[in-house]
């Protein structure tokens, strides 16, 4: 998706979920706690089902679901991923809500 289009779309959402599929180790926790959003693929890594690919194997998903709720399945997936490859950020503030810290 072109960057301007992505920024335009982003304005309508509260959170962005980012998934670094390259570094997924196939631990399956995400698919276990949130089978609606994560499914295991034949290659042993998880797919972010409704995600869009930003660039090679980096996926994102905008959402207005309440990610402050520790019981939210998507948030639980981010919190439980042992590889730390799922990150949820509040768009308006850039605050990391759950999951992996920004990679340096």
Which residues of the shown chain bind ligand SF4 in the complex (CB under 6 A)?
A: 24-30, 38, 45-46, 81, 83, 85-86
Give the total residue count for the chain: 104
Residues ≥6 apart with Cβ < 8 Å to 43: none
**What's the rounded Cα separation, in Å, for the pair 61 and 47?**
12
Query: Cβ of residue 59: shortest distance to ligand SF4, in angstroms?
Result: 10
Q: In terms of CB distance, is 28 or 90 closer to ligand SF4? A: 28
Q: In terms of CB distance, is 37 or 62 closer to ligand SF4? A: 37
Query: Cβ of residue 32: shortest distance to ligand SF4, in angstroms?
Result: 8
Instruction: Give the residue among 1, 12, 28 at the shortest CA–CA distance from 86.
Output: 28
Handedness of CA 74, 80, 83, 89 (dihedral sign): positive
Q: In terms of CB distance, is 7 or 25 closer to ligand SF4? A: 25
Instruction: Give the residue among 24, 3, 41, 7 at the shortest CA–CA distance from 77.
Output: 24
């Amino acid at each position: 998706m072109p960057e301007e289009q992505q920024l335009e779309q982003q304005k309508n959402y509260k959170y962005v979920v980012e998934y670094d599929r390259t570094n997924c180790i196939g631990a399956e926790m995400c698919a276990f706690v949130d089978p609606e959003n994560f499914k295991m693929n034949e290659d042993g890594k998880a797919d972010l089902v409704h995600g869009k690919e930003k660039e090679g194997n980096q996926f994102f998903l905008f959402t207005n679901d309440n990610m402050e709720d520790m019981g939210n399945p998507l948030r639980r997936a981010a919190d439980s991923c042992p590889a730390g490859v799922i990150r949820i950020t509040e768009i308006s503030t850039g605050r990391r809500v759950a999951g992996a810290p920004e990679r340096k």
